[in-house]
């Protein structure tokens, strides 16, 4: 088993003068396509650019790719008179003023979902781990659900929404929760059971293809991967790589347990949702529930336990440096913590946007 990596990031397109989100009329995508081929895509809102790595054999290849993508998109944006930013929401731009990308697929989504689609002005990180065997991937998805709130807490980077401090470390998922078929999935015991569920949705015209299942983790409908989708897009390259490395390490650890006939406990999604809510509200600063002990535990302590849990696989994956950086995130704060610190110091959301755009290209020089 190779457990390859693929990483997708969604960036904000920002006006350098007003610091607001701005439509780039797909100029960035058009220009970048000549350099990056299919690694750059338009999104539903014209103020969004999505990038994706090629298939990476390890975290070091992924670092090279993400650095190249951020540098390339930032450079192309600059040449066109824009900046890019990596944060789960924009601190003050309003979704009502943002343009939708002309495309029959997006027209259909907006027609069906109305303001839930128009207001879905959010920016995420998706991490793919390669697994050819679909039944194995389903088993690992079932087990990985428990760890999604931990990963989410680590990625929190969207404390502001339309000019307000929301009180959440990640408001992004609150926006996305309005979509159908989102959040923590339930347990499926077999691939046949899962495919029957999809068939019913297609037959009853709930969806026309399985890509419209937007859960926090899923078996990808077209690629041989397990895809983790719960995270805000992190502000820095280092944060993205640390979270991706942790996701890969968790998958490999859970796979190793399975090969030793050891299974991780499966918990009901209603319980996991309690931790997801706490992660979005408090980030690393709160407590989450340890379901085994049936008590609250400081989230940072749970993160230390998580690092200990995967420690025996990180060296073979070559990701120790990126995994160790998670302790720096716990020490220095997530993107949300740092955005809030800038705002507390300056009382100016424009300064927060400036901080985001500076951090986004850190390490690309």
Task: Please provide the DSSP assignment of 278-297 as one string.
Answer: HHHHHGGGSEEEETTTTEEE
**Tens digits of residue pLDDT in 179-230:** 999 999 999 999 999 999 999 999 999 999 999 999 999 999 889 999 999 9
Q: Residue 87 has what pLDDT?
A: 98
Q: For the chain, how many structural domains are there in total?
A: 1
Q: Residue 119 has what pLDDT?
A: 87
Q: Is the pLDDT of residue 84 over 80?
A: yes
Band of residue 238 on the pLDDT scale cut at 50, 70, 90: very high
Q: What percent of the chain has pLDDT over 70?
A: 100
The most distant pair of C-alpha atoms in the chain lies apart, rounded to whole Å, by 59
pTM to 2 decimal places: 0.96
**Structure tokens, 288:** 């989450």
- Determine, yes or no, domain membership for 105: yes
- Determine, yes or no, domain membership for 127: yes
- Determine, yes or no, domain membership for 39: yes
**Tens digits of residue pLDDT in 264-292:** 889 999 999 999 999 999 999 999 999 98
Provide the CATH number for the domain around residue 114. 3.30.590.20
Half-sphere exposure at residue 225, Cβ-oriented, CA atoms within 13 angstroms: 20
- Determine, yes or no, domain membership for 276: yes
**Tens digits of residue pLDDT in 142-167:** 999 999 999 999 999 999 999 999 99
Q: Is the pLDDT of residue 1 over 80?
A: no
Q: Considering only 41-45, 169-173, 301-305, 331-335, which range has the smallest mean pLDDT?
A: 41-45
Mean pLDDT score of the chain: 95
At residue 55, the 3 state secondary structure works out as: coil
Band of residue 100 on the pLDDT scale cut at 50, 70, 90: confident
- Determine, yes or no, domain membership for 332: yes
Q: Is the pLDDT of residue 103 over 90?
A: no
Q: Residue 34 has what pLDDT?
A: 87
| Structure-model confidence comparison of residues 171 and 119, the more confident one | 171
- Mean pLDDT confidence for 240-252: 98
Q: What percent of the chain has pLDDT over 90?
A: 84
| Spatial distance between the Cα atoms of 107 and 14, rounded to a whole number of angstroms | 24
Q: Residue 105 has what pLDDT?
A: 81
| Spatial distance between the Cα atoms of 316 and 319, rounded to a whole number of angstroms | 8
Q: Is the pLDDT of residue 132 over 90?
A: yes
| Spatial distance between the Cα atoms of 165 and 341, rounded to a whole number of angstroms | 12
Q: Residue 77 has what pLDDT?
A: 96
- Determine, yes or no, domain membership for 120: yes
Which stretches within 283-347 are classed as H helix? 299-317, 320-332, 335-346
- Determine, yes or no, domain membership for 365: no
- Mean pLDDT confidence for 295-318: 97
364's enclosing H/E stretch is none
Cβ atoms of 35 and 69 closer than 8 Å: no
Q: Residue 35 has what pLDDT?
A: 86
> What range defines the domain where residue 224 resides?
5-360
Q: Considering only 97-106, 153-162, 333-342, which range has the smallest mean pLDDT?
A: 97-106
**Tens digits of residue pLDDT in 29-69:** 999 988 898 899 888 888 999 999 999 999 999 999 999 99
Q: Residue 104 has what pLDDT?
A: 80
Tell me phi and psi for residue 48, to 5 degrees. Answer: -120, 140
Q: Residue 108 has what pLDDT?
A: 86
**Structure tokens, 113:** 């979902």
Q: Residue 128 has what pLDDT?
A: 98
């Amino acid at each position: 088993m190779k457990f390859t990596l693929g990483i997708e990031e969604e960036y904000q397109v920002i006006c350098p003068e007003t610091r607001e989100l701005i439509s780039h009329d797909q100029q960035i995508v058009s220009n970048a396509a000549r350099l990056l081929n299919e690694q750059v895509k338009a999104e539903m809102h014209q103020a969004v650019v999505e990038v994706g790595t090629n298939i990476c054999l390890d975290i070091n290849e992924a670092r090279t790719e993400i650095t190249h993508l951020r540098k390339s998109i930032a450079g192309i944006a600059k040449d066109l008179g824009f900046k890019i930013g990596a944060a789960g929401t924009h601190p003050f731009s309003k979704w009502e003023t943002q343009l939708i990308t002309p495309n029959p697929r997006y027209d259909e989504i907006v027609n069906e979902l109305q303001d839930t689609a128009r207001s879905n002005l959010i920016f995420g990180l998706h991490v793919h781990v390669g697994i050819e065997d679909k039944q194995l991937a389903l088993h690992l998805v079932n087990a990985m659900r428990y760890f999604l709130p931990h990963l989410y807490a680590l990625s929190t980077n969207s404390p502001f929404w339309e000019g307000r401090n929301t009180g959440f470390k990640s408001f992004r998922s609150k926006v996305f929760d309005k979509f159908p078929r989102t959040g923590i999935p339930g347990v499926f015991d077999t691939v046949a059971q899962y495919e029957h569920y999809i068939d019913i949705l297609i037959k009853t015209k709930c969806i026309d293809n399985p890509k419209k299942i937007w859960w926090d983790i899923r078996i990808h409908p077209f690629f041989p991967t397990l895809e983790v989708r719960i995270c805000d897009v992190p502000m820095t390259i280092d944060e993205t790589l640390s979270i991706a490395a942790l996701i890969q390490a968790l998958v490999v650890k859970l796979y190793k347990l399975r090969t030793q006939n050891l299974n991780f406990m499966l918990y009901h999604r209603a319980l996991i949702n309690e931790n997801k809510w706490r992660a979005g509200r408090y980030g690393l600063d709160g407590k989450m529930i340890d379901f085994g002990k049936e008590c609250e535990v400081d989230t940072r302590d749970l993160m230390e336990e998580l690092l200990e849990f995967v420690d025996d696989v990180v060296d073979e994956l070559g990701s120790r440096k990126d995994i160790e950086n998670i302790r720096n995130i716990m020490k220095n704060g997530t993107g949300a913590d740092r955005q809030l610190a800038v705002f507390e110091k300056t009382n100016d959301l424009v300064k927060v946007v400036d901080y985001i755009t500076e951090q986004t290209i850190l390490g690309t020089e």
